[in-house]
Structure 1
Amino acid sequence: MKPALLVIDMQQHYAFANEEKTRLTLRAVEFINTAIDLFRKKGLPVICIQHRDEAEGVVPEADGFKNIDQLAINPDDIHIIKTYGNAFNKTSLEETLRKLSVDTVILTGYCAEYCVLSTCRGALDIDLVPLILRNAISSGIPENIRFVENVNEVISLGALEAVLP
């Protein structure tokens, strides 16, 4: 297994849009940051994926485009900007992963039922193994987090730590 950690759309515009999203996002970010630290210690890729939506004003110059302050993403992590829910659609993500010989993606981030789920399905379409990190995805609706975790392959943080090369 050669994994990469995908951190999807943990941006101010989306993750902090209301009180419930904020609460659920802050819970998820604890797990995401622990995974980021684990991947860095193992020398494995951490990929920050950010959504760009000009109609909503979510563009690189805007505050809403920025990752939430609590997220431990570094400037030297790989950064991908997407315009579709599926982070593989019309981006360099697949090419980047192939160059790194990645065969497994660990998915985290926002929004469980949209971009995380779409990227999970996109990974399957290109023969990667997608695993959702339990408790590391967020949404404005708690039931949707459980749904996405229930219909996909999920790995706990402890199991992830045990199997990482």
Structure 2
Amino acid sequence: MNMALLIIDMQKAYYEGPGKVSMDKAAEYISEALGLFRENGLPIVWIQDADEEDGIVPGTRGYEIIDILKPETGEEIVSKTYSNSFNKTDLFPFLTSRNADTVIITGYSAEYCVLSTYRGAKDHDLFPILLRHGLASDSKENNTFVEDISETVTLNVLRRMVEG
């Protein structure tokens, strides 16, 4: 099993209202997963939503990753315009170049971009796994629903998977 970590749309544009609390909670789990992947030299992909109509484009504050999470040099950054992070992006070729067959998926919004990317990974014959409590949404019920219908892993189990 060759894993990569995907962090989806944890951007300042969505960091408000009920999403803020959910993103803060998810960021705690994502930070732990980031540490594991960084320590073990595993691929990390930051996926950012670009939406010209809403003014969320590279170079704007809304496009930036929230302050609690920060990409490091050498980590892949993918800009997307569709909910499915694989649609018309270089995500799949990057994962293929790193021999990744399993993707640990985290981020915002559970019921939209996270779930779409989860299904997109399956379409590419990858094995997607959601990080339990590493998802954010404006609705707690939607977070729970997405985790309930998907393959998930806890942080402790992920630690064992990564560290062997």
Superposition pairs of residues 1-165 of structure 1, within 5 angstroms: 1-14=1-14, 16-18=15-17, 20-164=18-162, 165=164
Structure 1: which 5+ residue stretches go unaligned? none
- Aligned-pair CA distance for 1:163: 1.2
Q: Deviating runs (4+, > 4 A) in structure 1?
A: none
* Aligned AA (1:54): E
Q: What is the aligned-residue RMSD (CA, Å)? A: 0.8
Q: Give the share of equivalent positions with the same residue, in percent.
A: 45
- Aligned-pair CA distance for 1:77: 1.0
- Aligned-pair CA distance for 1:113: 0.2
CA contact (8 A) 1:36 1:72 kept: no
- Measured against aligned partners, the alpha-carbon deviations of 1:56-106 in whole angstroms (never above 9, x if no partner) come to 000011100000000132243110000000000000000000010000000
Q: C-alpha distance in 2, partners of 1:8/1:97?
A: 15
Structure 2: which 5+ residue stretches go unaligned? none
Q: C-alpha distance in 1, partners of 2:47/2:59?
A: 16
Secondary structure at 1:109's aligned position in 2?
strand
Q: C-alpha distance in 2, partners of 1:17/1:117?
A: 21
- Aligned-pair CA distance for 1:38: 0.3
* Aligned AA (1:30): E
Secondary structure at 1:31's aligned position in 2?
helix
- Measured against aligned partners, the alpha-carbon deviations of 1:100-151 in whole angstroms (never above 9, x if no partner) come to 0000000000000000000000000010000000000000000000000000
State the TM-score, normalizing by the size of structure 2: 0.97
Matched residue pairs, number?
A: 163
